[in-house]
Structure 1
Amino acid sequence: MNHIKKLLSIFKQPRPQLDDNESVTCWKFDGLLKNLNVLSLPADRQKAIMGYGCIADEMAEDFNTYFTLNRQEYLEKGLLDQQQCDQLDKLDSLLEKYSGDGNTGFWDDQQLDTNKDWQSVREIAKHILIVLRKDNSDIGYS
């Protein structure tokens, strides 16, 4: 439970008074930043933070929840610009490419550290964090 508190504290930022809709949007955007940070980490850190279960699937589902379903809202609210969305779309396309029954190796948690495609996911996520100017965050785990 301690690692969850650390994870949450890393991204806490004071926010101006917002109406409920804007608060929810900011909460979802913070979720996207946390997800990108986890996606950018080495496999052993991903496993430590995500815990047991379908880690690869959960990370991809979180990305879908926090980016894909909210992309237009982030653009409209000015949280992302088109260039940033284009970079996030690359990651979305890569994850979408592996959805379906024919790519079980990609979703195998035991292959997170050896699968070259997961290394590509990490590199893209790192690049996105740089583009968003959020590459100095670190998720601790103890």
Structure 2
Amino acid sequence: MKGGALKTYYLDTSALLKGFFQEKETLEYRRFLDDALCCGDALIISRLTYTEFYCVLKRCLPQDSRWEQAARDTLANFEVYPLEESDYLMAAHSSWRLRGAEALHLAAAVRLNCDAMLVFDQELAVAAQVAGLEVPQF
């Protein structure tokens, strides 16, 4: 899904959350995302990422709507793609040895022909590199 983008990045849920919550790598990571957007790079998430993102926020944040606008603002920077049957099959039959959701994230990134994957899960990062994706470190 490169279109006119210079580089295409797929973000799993850990990467999307890293930009939302303040953690030790967050500032450097947000700068990276801002630079990517300014350069015309594509930031991609799947519906799985979208769903997991909201589920984590609802579990971790107060039961009011103050965080919902910030979540919408965050998601506005990303292209959201549905998972396809081929993603489930690739995840199930790959040699990646990942948990189900992580395998689905990687399968989607591969199918969408992404250049790189932004992840903070070490097992997924290694599998993404084996699959031929760049994995920037922060």
Give the TM interval when normalised to the shorter protein. Answer: under 0.3
Q: Which is helix-richer, 1 or 2? A: 1
Name the TM-score, length of structure 1 as normaliser. Answer: 0.26
Name the TM-score, length of structure 2 as normaliser. Answer: 0.27
Higher relative contact order (CA 8 A, sep 6+): 1
